[in-house]
């Protein structure tokens, strides 16, 4: 369970870094998945984090393959967390129906 928490915190860190660097790679277009994957792999290599040995799945021939796949999983999880948090942050607009509220309050003042 401890290893899963570290994995999720690294994913949140990669998500935050991709959000902070959003203006820098805006010209790339849909570059967020590639940037998140690259940051995830770099972070996994810097921390030497291998989720396969952390979960006692040690049948990989080379250790660097496990670290690289862990980095790709961190980047992918960061994208999923970003999409889910965007959904939750936008949910209040759907529930409150801001357009209906504007029609009720501001349009009566004009008419």
The length of the chain in residues reads 111
Q: Which residue matches tokens 């940051």?
A: 39
**Gap between the Cα atoms of 55 and 91, Å rounded:** 35
For the entire predicted model, the pTM comes to 0.77
Span between the terminal Cα atoms of the chain, in Å: 60
Cα-based distances in Å from 83 to 78, 107, 110: 9, 34, 38
> Which tens digits make up the pLDDT trace of 34-91?
889 999 999 999 999 888 887 777 777 888 888 999 999 999 999 999 999 988 888 8
The per-residue pLDDT for 69 is 92
User: Which pLDDT band holds residue 26 (cuts at 50, 70, 90)?
Assistant: low
Higher pLDDT, 67 or 107: 67
Higher pLDDT, 105 or 12: 12
- Contact (CB, 8 A) for 81 and 12: yes
């Amino acid at each position: 369970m401890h290893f899963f928490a570290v994995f999720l915190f690294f994913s949140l860190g990669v998500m935050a870094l991709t959000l902070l660097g959003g203006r820098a790679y805006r010209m790339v277009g849909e570059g967020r998945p590639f940037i998140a994957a690259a940051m995830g792999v770099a972070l996994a290599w810097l921390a030497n984090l291998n989720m396969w040995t952390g979960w006692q799945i040690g049948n990989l021939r080379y250790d660097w393959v496990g670290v690289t796949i862990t980095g790709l999983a961190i980047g992918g999880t960061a994208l999923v967390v970003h999409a889910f948090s965007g959904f939750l942050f936008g949910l209040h607009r759907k529930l409150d129906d801001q357009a209906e509220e504007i029609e009720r309050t501001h349009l009566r003042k004009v008419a």
